[in-house]
Amino acid sequence: MRIVITGALGHIGSRLIRELAVAFPGDDIVMVDNLATERYVSLYDLPAAGHYEFIEADILMADLARLFEGADAVIHLAAVTHAGPGEPQSEMRRVNVRGTELVAQACLATGSALLFPSTTSVYGTPDGVVTEDCPPDELRPQSPYATWKLESEMFLRGLAADGLRFVIFRMGTIFGPSPGMRFHTAVNQFCWRAVARQPLEVWRTASHQYRPYLDLADAVRAMAFVLERRQFDGRVYNVLSVNATVEQVVEVLSGYVPDVRISYVDSPLMNDLSYRVDSRRFADLGFTFTGTLARGIGDTVAMLTGARSPMTAGPDRQPR
């Protein structure tokens, strides 16, 4: 099998390229990345079982049909999740929306299947549990990034009639370590701030509100699961490990890092939003979510402190 991953050196991709080599030893893994975030470290110490090829390319300018030629599947991770200093939102939208359109059109031209990671942030229900079949009024993206993901989902559906084979993952907020790790999302940011003895900034109105989270280990296993089953059925699947509150996240983290400090800040946003996401559709395919906050936080703290993970150091090792 030949698998192409765009954005291959990022937070998700840098772990995925390693896990795919274990899951599909001997298969071709083509890593496409523009190195804008300079995650060169993601290319080091790759498993010997993988047949790797790295291509430095920008999805907005590259000849994607040539890059995807012969690919059984493309996993499109290339995206900009938040603006850097002075970066306009119009450029972010261009990468996220136009970039996805170009990737999808190249997949259609080459016959490659597409796995598209979207986000559970497309949901905006004020309460309760939400599924993939929720009514349109519960699709209220909570950020420009989520809006662009939803727009891209609609574009992919439009290409289904032309023969595009794809699957959409609405993924919970990622947590857990990787070689190309980022710390801009809630759990990972809390981990590094706690280890650095910095206060955790928590919205005062959000500490008891539920959000969906996805252990990175579950995320890469789910992608491998789809590749193995050729599950490119044009459907949307919620992919998440746990629905949890910020209070629960902090409670788990405090078991690994003593004396966690919290700084509550006021925010006019998210006052009414507390919802849980249902992942049974994906589980019904035969996939088991095994990720937990304890494992992901424990592994992340262990990485940051240079210690062995409390979750893998033996049965007698427990959080403090």
Active site members: 145
C-alpha 98 chain-centroid distance: 19
Tokens of 244: 């949890």
Give the Cα separation of 31 and 33 in Å (integer): 7
Residue 132 · residue 139 · CB < 8 Å: no
- From the CB of residue 61, how many other CB atoms can be counted at a distance below 10 Å? 9
3-state secondary structure 94-129: HHHHHHHHHHHHHHHHHCCEEEEEEEHHHCCCCEEE
- Provide the pairing of β-strand 210-215 with 242-245: antiparallel
DSSP 124-186: --SEEEE-TT--GGG---SSHHHHHHHHHHHHHHHHHTTT--EEEEEEPEEES--TT----SH
